[in-house]
Structure 1
Amino acid sequence: MDTLIPQFSIVLLVFMRVSAFFVSVPLFSYRTIPTIFKIGFSFILAVLVYYTLDVSPIPIDGTYLLLILKEAVIGLLLGFIAYMMLSAIQIAGGFIDFQMGFAIANVIDPQTGAQSPLMGQYLYTFSLLFLLAVNGHHLIIDGIFNSYHFIPIDQFVMAFGEEGFILYVVKSFGLMFMIAFQMAIPIVASLFLVDVALGIVARTVPQLNIFVVGFPIKIAVSFIVIFIVMALLFVTVQNLFEEMLVVLRDMMSYMGGTG
């Protein structure tokens, strides 16, 4: 019994980080996934991680409660960073929707329950399927598994107040918008040329109701361009997945004090 309690205390710390990570990370945090499955999967993964750790027994006291809080914050933050990077896909869809005229039509995101852009959710769904096809979910699980090599479970090593950490978060936030702009620019630029052409037609043929003709033309051009550049979009999505893993690794290095 005396040896079981210290072992349980370590397993609980591991379980807190893993379960908090699955609360906010994309794909695993979907509301459509049963909660009992998330808890069971987190516990099994926590037990597997426990047998790879070389940590001395941790007494259950006031410091232990702070360690639990630290593990929960780390798990939530790492999952949020992964979700923030993949949000570039929905932001790109928002840019496209605004130019297509679909900005008024939103759908419910099954992960957050909030409204999301129509094209953004379309691209996001295909991107998640692409993530599963290339075993990206294995890399995400591997990321939380390797986080214990960067962030010790029994130490308070968190660099939230350091200037380098804050600057890197801001840089990652800007990178997300840059990738979103790269994904949306082919469709947005094409629709801009369509707007220019419609403006010229409206000035040269005043009798033509350009508002009635313009919307179907823009929607048709948008779908044609999306069909043409779909392969290019998925190349950008692949680069986004790679950047997400790099950002996760660097964030763990900063929080572990080695960044």
Structure 2
Amino acid sequence: MLDLLPQFPAFLLIFTRVTSFFLMMPLFSYRSIPAQHKVGLGFFLALIMFTAIDPPALEINGAYFLLVIKEVLVGLMIGFAAAMILSAIQIAGGLIDFQMGFAIANVIDPQSGTQSPLTGQYLYTIALLFLLSVNGHHMLLDGIYHSYDFVPIDQAWIPFGNENVAEFLIQSFNSMFATAFQMSIPVVGSLFLVDVALGIVARTVPQLNVFVVGMPVKTGVSFIVLIAVMGAMMMVVQRLFSDMFTTMRVLMELIGGS
């Protein structure tokens, strides 16, 4: 036991990075998971990583508290990058709901406690199940483990203010919206054609009230198209998972200064 005491400060740093990562990362940060379970899972993961990393012995002094702040920032940044990429699914659902006429019918997401579009919440739930089925949650945990290859535990200075980090985050933010547009364009484009057809009908048959007919027609067409392109959407989601892991890796390389 006495031999482990010099390593205890290093274990606390690992525990800090893992729990900070859990605050932001998808699936592990949801409110439906009790805080005690998150802390317990973070503790045992930190213990496993502590035995695998073999960190150096550290002293608790003024520089140690700077390392604690650094670990918190690294964990939050990596988890935020993963959550930002996956939020493209909900943005795509919001674009679809806007064209369907469901934009006002938002629901409260019990996982995050925020308002979420109906279609976006449906697609996001399927994407999370898909993530679990392909062991993506293991890849997320693998990412936080390999973060010590890029950002060592005793590295006090990290270039958060570097222009390369900011530029990469902006590019990732841009690619997230591009992916959301790609996911929503089949349904949104089909509903645009329905709007054009309803406009032609309204001009040719003035007796027909398109405001009464248009809503159920657009809803039915959107569900039909959504069912038809669900397989293609899952292919985009699969690519989105790959982009998420790539974003985490590149961000860790930039933060580590490599």
TM-score of the pair, normalised by structure 1? 0.97
On the 8 A contact 1:23/1:76 being kept in 2, the answer is: yes
AA at the equivalent of 2:190: S
State which drifts further: 33-42 or 156-165: 156-165
Tell me the alpha carbon deviations over residues 200-254 of structure 1, each in whole angstroms, 9 at most, x when there is no partner: 0011111111000000000000000000000000000000000000000000000
Q: Please name the residue that 1:183 is paired with.
A: 183
On the 8 A contact 1:85/1:244 being kept in 2, the answer is: yes
Deviation for aligned residue 1:110: 2.3
Matched, 1:228 2:228: yes
Q: Please name the residue that 1:193 is paired with.
A: 193
Matched residues in 2 for 1:40 and 1:195: separation? 53
CA RMSD across the alignment: 1.0
Matched residues in 2 for 1:5 and 1:195: separation? 70
On the 8 A contact 1:106/1:116 being kept in 2, the answer is: yes
Task: Give the secondary-structure state (helix, strand or coil) at the position aligned to 1:81.
Answer: helix
Q: Please name the residue that 2:41 is paired with.
A: 41
Within a 5 Å distance, the mapping from 1:119-134 to structure 2 comes to 119-134=119-134
On the 8 A contact 1:157/1:255 being kept in 2, the answer is: no
Matched residues in 2 for 1:166 and 1:36: separation? 34
Matched, 1:8 2:11: no
Q: Please name the residue that 1:21 is paired with.
A: 21
Matched residues in 1 for 2:7 and 2:101: separation? 58
Deviation for aligned residue 1:54: 3.4
State which drifts further: 148-157 or 206-215: 148-157
Matched residues in 1 for 2:18 and 2:110: separation? 21
State which drifts further: 14-23 or 55-64: 55-64
Matched residues in 2 for 1:42 and 1:221: separation? 46
Matched residues in 2 for 1:168 and 1:215: separation? 41
Deviation for aligned residue 1:2: 5.7
Q: Please name the residue that 1:52 is paired with.
A: 52
Q: Please name the residue that 2:118 is paired with.
A: 118
On the 8 A contact 2:91/2:177 being kept in 1, the answer is: yes
Q: Please name the residue that 1:82 is paired with.
A: 82
AA at the equivalent of 2:183: M
Within a 5 Å distance, the mapping from 1:138-153 to structure 2 comes to 138-153=138-153
Matched residues in 2 for 1:207 and 1:13: separation? 72
Q: Please name the residue that 1:165 is paired with.
A: 165
On the 8 A contact 2:92/2:181 being kept in 1, the answer is: yes
On the 8 A contact 1:157/1:257 being kept in 2, the answer is: no
AA at the equivalent of 1:38: K
Tell me the alpha carbon deviations over residues 41-77 of structure 1, each in whole angstroms, 9 at most, x when there is no partner: 1000001111122332110011111111110111111
The alignment of Structure 1 onto Structure 2 pairs a total of residues equal to 258
Tell me the alpha carbon deviations over residues 122-146 of structure 1, each in whole angstroms, 9 at most, x when there is no partner: 0000000000011100100100010
Matched residues in 2 for 1:63 and 1:3: separation? 23
Matched residues in 2 for 1:7 and 1:163: separation? 35
Task: Give the secondary-structure state (helix, strand or coil) at the position aligned to 1:216.
Answer: helix
- Structure 1 spans left out of the alignment, 5+ residues: none
Tell me the alpha carbon deviations over residues 125-170 of structure 1, each in whole angstroms, 9 at most, x when there is no partner: 0000000011100100100010011101111241211111111110
